[in-house]
Amino acid sequence: MIIAGSALASVVAISLAALTVLVARIAVTPPRTAAERVRILSSDPVGRTVTLDRSPDALVPGRYGLWFSGDTGHARLGDVVSSTPVSVTRAVLGIDFGDLATARRGRYGGWFHLSPHDLGFAWESVSVPTGIGPAPAWLVRAQSESGSAAVTAGTGRWVIQVHGRGVTRAEGLRAVPAFRAAGYHSLLISWRNDGNAPASPDRRYGLGGTEWLDVDAAIRFATNNGATDIVLMGWSMGGATVLQTVANSAVAGVVRGIVLESPVVDWVPTLSFQASERRVPPGVSRAALSLLGSPRAHRLTGQDAPIDLKTLDFVLRGDELRVPVLLLHSSDDGFVPEVASAALAAARPDIVTYHRWSVARHAKLWNLDPERFDRQITDWLATLRAGATPS
């Protein structure tokens, strides 16, 4: 019995160790394919509707994107038409490509626009030189002072859009109209391991701790092309990357402000929350966080270097911020809890303008209420441009 008990304990210990490594690897490994967790129950091409599994995201009002059939199709969805205890029927505003009628699974998200072409503005593809190779980007020029369609080539105001984990530069397209109308050129960048930019040698996320180097390169690209006043906007993990940039970049002096949408301000509550949602035991979650920063064991995750999570905690490092911050986060985010955003806002009320949303879920504030989203950005930019502390 003693031997059997010892063997069982060994099996449990090995299983927990394996689970710890798996949880840590998930945190830093870019997904090869996006998970299609949404069941498409039916579609009605005549009535222009689609019926999906009922979920908190599927019930939120507004406009969204639906990728389906292994990303071979994309549809743009409108408001909820009806719902039952098990399903949600939404309006179909358009199908960009693919056969929605035969689709059975998909993924639901904030991507309503696929490229700058969808916005109707003049734009160009550019290449940002980074330390690991050229990274593609989109450049959308500012609206002229007169409000005409002509671009203002001479403006020194730029915004650099930094997308989040598991998505691409298209995420930032939703914010382009507000910045363009305020006289900002918009540079939507790609960064290492996002599927468009070059991969890092280890092909692992640095949770902002390495990706900031590509934002640094984008700042240099912008200043080489006439930028004198730069706003950095980060979405989700892009928020963590932006915060690392202003803390570490030698050229961050040209950054006049930061906009954060559903940002990761501190990775510990975010990763702990996500592990809890997957029903990972708390002890395993804590061990996985330690593994990411271990000087030796971090290599079990494939990382070239450990990740010091304390250096990524901008509640702890909030006093290092020197520029105004516009912070937008929904209380029911469901992926990145707002606790760290609220803590940063409380710690730095002198520079942080915090708009707490509800209902919007994660990185979908524009989708829920584009007018409110644009207004909050536009009002903040007006005070930033005037040289006042936004409030």
Confidence tier at 1 by pLDDT (50, 70, 90): low
Residue 7: the pLDDT is 53
Over residues 71-88, the pLDDT tens digits come to 999 999 999 999 999 999
Helix (H) or strand (E) holding 105: strand 105-109
- Taking the C-alpha atoms of residue 307 and residue 9, their distance in angstroms, rounded to an integer, is 31
Over residues 92-103, the pLDDT tens digits come to 999 999 999 999
Over residues 115-165, the pLDDT tens digits come to 999 999 999 999 999 999 999 999 999 986 444 434 445 689 999 999 999
Average pLDDT over residues 56-84: 95
Confidence tier at 389 by pLDDT (50, 70, 90): very low
Over residues 238-295, the pLDDT tens digits come to 999 999 999 999 999 999 999 999 999 999 999 999 999 999 999 989 989 999 999 8
Residue 13: the pLDDT is 55
Residue 18: the pLDDT is 83
- Taking the C-alpha atoms of residue 75 and residue 95, their distance in angstroms, rounded to an integer, is 4
Beta strands at 185-189 and 133-140: parallel, antiparallel or unpaired: antiparallel
What is the maximum span of the chain, computed from C-alpha positions, in angstroms?
85
Residue 147: the pLDDT is 45
